Structures are given as C-alpha cells and as structure tokens.
Structure 1
Amino acid sequence: MARLLLVVVVGLFAALGAVPAQAADGYRYWSFWQRGGDGGSWAYATQGPSSARPDDGDMIGFRFAVSEDSNDATRPRGMADFAAVCADTPATDGTKRVAVVIDFGTAADAADHRTPPAPRTECARVGADASAGEALAAVAKPLRYNSAALLCAISGYPESGCGDKMSGSVDAHAAPKGDGGDGKADGDGASGGPSAGLIGGLAAVVLLGAAAVWQARRRRA
C-alpha cells in the first residue's frame, strides 16, 4: 500500500507539472529581423542577410541573444521608425536608404555576463540592389562570419564565438527578454513553481493515502 501511495503521488507531480522538465538547449547568436519603414512589428527574416534585398525605406534589425530557435528568438528593442532613423539622409538617384537597428542584447546574453554596447540605429545608403548584409556592413564594420556564412559578430561584438550551443540554458531564459521597446515578452509572469492550490491538493492526497494505510494495518491487527 505504501509503495502504491508513493507511485500515485509521484505520478500526480509529473502530470501536473510539479516535476521540472529538463532545460532545453539554446544558442547564442545574432538573429536577423525585418519590418516596414512605417513601423509595425518585427518579423523574423526568412532569408539570410546576404540574400535578403530590402527596399528603399525598409528597416532591418539584428539582435544578439540566447534563443532555442526562431520561434523563441528575441526581437530588437526600440520603437524608432524609418523616418526617424534616416531623417538626415536624403534620397539620391541610384541608391536606397535602409534603416538598420543593432541590439547587442543584455548582460544575461553575453558569454561573460558583462554589459554589452548600447543598442543603436544607423541609416545605410547603399546601391539599389544591395543586400541586407551590405547595408549592415556599410554602417557597422567590422563584421565576422564563419565558414558556413553565419553572422558571428557585428562591430566586433562578440569578440569570439559563433552560434555557441548553451546546454540547459536556464540562466539565459530566466532573464527578462522584453526589457524595453518591442522585444518579446516573457510569458504571463508566472513563477513556474507549483501553486499553493497544487501543494494543498497533493497534501490532501498524501493524508488520504496515509489514512488508507492505517486502516489496512488496523484490519490486519
């Protein structure tokens, strides 16, 4: 009976989520985003910076953070639109202007947990057929890529590493990601631990089980 009670209690904890799941792997990298010049929400780019061809008046964004995948990636912060970023850069024939937002992330995202450079915006004037990568290079050198053409560093940040895998990256995901601007918010503010109601319910199960064990022993006596 005691063994059965233990199995029931453990099963309830697992079913109700009181037993913590194994932390998922994350990757520390620069994510690439796009949005229209008139504002709106950032959209995760479906092409790499070397392939995407923004139009005159478009915005591109880059955010350094620890993420599991594109669904978990954190958007660049800041609400500046194209008009604000490129206000001092007039249009000229044969070129296009692209607003570039560069967000170096937070200390929680940095490998050494030091405070990174502040986010910044730049207006890139490039050729009419220039890629997003060329627009970024025009305003944020030096860039660093790996052998697979993955963007590893913008303006020399970070100094080393490229898409590093963070096994069980609990510390990175515990830090708020929606800290200003329109970055992605973190859930609904729940702590992730068992609630008082859940603990009370499990305690009741334990008491009922203990009573059953006592009754069984009494009958045998």
Structure 2
Amino acid sequence: MTVARSAARAVGALLIAGFLAVLGAVPAQAAGYRYWSFWEHTGSGWAYATQGPSVLRPDDGDTVGFRFAVSEDSAHAAQPRDKGDFSAICAATPAKDGSKRVAVVLDFGTPEHAPGGRRPPERRTACAQVGEDASAGDALAAVAKPLRYNSSALLCAIAGYPTSGCGEQVGAQESGQRPSAGASGAEKSGESDDGDDGGPSAGLLVGVAAVVVLGAAAVWQARRRRG
C-alpha cells in the first residue's frame, strides 16, 4: 500500500470522526410537550380522543379522561391512571330526564412532569350531570372549574392547574423522560420559547474544518515525499 493511499485513508477516518463528534454534540431533541391530553373510555380501556372536548358529545353513561403529562405525541401519551368505571364514578348520581351523566377522570400527573417542580393535585373523579347536547368540555366545566384556555382555544389548565404555561415544549432533562418516546382540545402548541435551532455551534464547525485542513496537509506531505 502506498504512502499516499495510507494517508488518504487516515484523512477519511479523521473526517468521519470529526463529523460524528459534531453530531454527538448537537443538543438532544426535546422530550415533548407538557399538556393536558384528552381520552375516551371504550369499556375495555382508554383511547386517545380524536376530537377535542369542545366538539365531542358523549352519551349518558360515557367516561372521559384528562391527563397532564409530558408526551411527544398521541402514540406515547400517558393515559389516565384510573379504571374509568362509570358505574362506580356516577353511582351516587341518579339519572334525570332532560340530562345525561358523564363520568370525568382527572389525572394531574406526576411530580416529574409538573412545571417548576410543583406538586400536582391528587387525581380524582367526578360525575357531571349536564344537558343532553352538552360536550365533554361542558361536562368538564361542570365539575373542574376554573378552566384556562389560550388564544387558540387550547385547554391549558383544569381546576386551576397548572397556574401558568400552555402546551410548552420541554427538554429531556427537565421532563424526566428519555427523548425516545406528547393536546387537550384537538391540538397542541408547537411553539417553543427557545430560539436555538439545535444545530452545531460555530466552534464545532471550526473544529471539523481544522480536521479537514490537517488531513489535506498529510496527503500533501506524503505526495511531496514521494516526489
């Protein structure tokens, strides 16, 4: 094997190592979004709602659930930690003409997902007795005021929790989640207050450029020796 070819391979190895260093140093992607997710009980378990609470109109005997957590998307969202048994939740609420009963499960989440290190309220259930045409949002308002919405009609707080924030993006370190695995209403906010686009820093790019220059110099020196 010639000296020039050996030098070329060495340069290739240096370039690969340099680019891997840049990729490894790029900040990890955000773990997800901190928000209230909305769920329907199917009788056998929880299903992520495909309509927002202001649109969905449950029937008498249905159960809806809300869970506050950090999640990337609906496929990995944390479910309410309650069985959602309508007969148990609404046992003390008799049926009444002109109204319907909707069981509401409120899961305020865990301390690791709470904003600012706060302690979330204990999870609870309630039986909402509302008009026959009432939405899930109406049922929620009947048992869990105060509610807070943002300008896009995204549900931000239930029973006053949390006191601030709305669907904000959170990093893996803050959320307590690994970033591998995140909106009540029909949507979640994709806005982030962080202006960093997650790209490599200028210093890292300069470092890679230095690797390229050194590698090119090695090839030139090898060819010069041959000449």
Q: How does 1:32-43 map to 2 (within 5 A)?
A: 32-36=38-42, 39-43=43-47
**In the alignment, residue 51 of structure 1 is paired with which amino acid?**
V
Q: How does 1:185-200 map to 2 (within 5 A)?
A: none
Among 144, 151, 154, the alignment partner of 1:147 is: 151
Q: Distance in 2 between matches of 1:158 and 1:55?
A: 29
Among 63, 71, 77, the alignment partner of 2:75 is: 71
Q: Answer whether contact 1:23 1:169 (CA < 8 A) is retained.
A: no
- Label 1:127 to 1:21 Cα distance change in 2 as closer, same or farther (>3 A): same
Give the gaps of 5 or more residues in structure 2.
Answer: 1-8, 182-227
**In the alignment, residue 59 of structure 1 is paired with which amino acid?**
T
1:84 aligns with 2:88: yes
Write out the 4+ residue segments of structure 1 that deviate beyond 3 Å after TM superposition.
1-11, 18-25, 167-171
Residue 130 of structure 2 corresponds to: 126
Q: Distance in 2 between matches of 1:146 and 1:22?
A: 28
Which structure features the higher share of helix residues?
Answer: 2
- Label 1:108 to 1:56 Cα distance change in 2 as closer, same or farther (>3 A): same
**In the alignment, residue 105 of structure 2 is paired with which amino acid?**
V
Q: Distance in 2 between matches of 1:130 and 1:171?
A: 35
Post-superposition offset of 1:31: 0.3
Post-superposition offset of 1:85: 0.0
Q: Deviations over 1:117-167 (max 9, x none)?
A: 000000000000000000000000000001111000000000000001114
When the two structures are superposed, what TM-score results if normalisation uses the length of structure 1?
Answer: 0.68
Q: Deviations over 1:167-212 (max 9, x none)?
A: 44574315xx9xxxxxxxxxxxxxxxxxxxxxxxxxxxxxxxxxxx
Q: Distance in 2 between matches of 1:71 and 1:169?
A: 21
1:173 aligns with 2:187: no
- Label 1:33 to 1:80 Cα distance change in 2 as closer, same or farther (>3 A): closer
Post-superposition offset of 1:71: 1.2
Give the gaps of 5 or more residues in structure 1.
Answer: 12-17, 178-221
Q: Deviations over 1:76-100 (max 9, x none)?
A: 0012400000000000111000000
Q: How does 1:3-18 map to 2 (within 5 A)?
A: none
Q: Which has the larger radius of gyration?
A: 2
Q: Distance in 2 between matches of 1:171 and 1:123?
A: 31
Q: Alignment identity in percent?
A: 60
Post-superposition offset of 1:58: 0.3
- Label 1:59 to 1:169 Cα distance change in 2 as closer, same or farther (>3 A): farther
Q: Distance in 2 between matches of 1:108 and 1:25?
A: 13
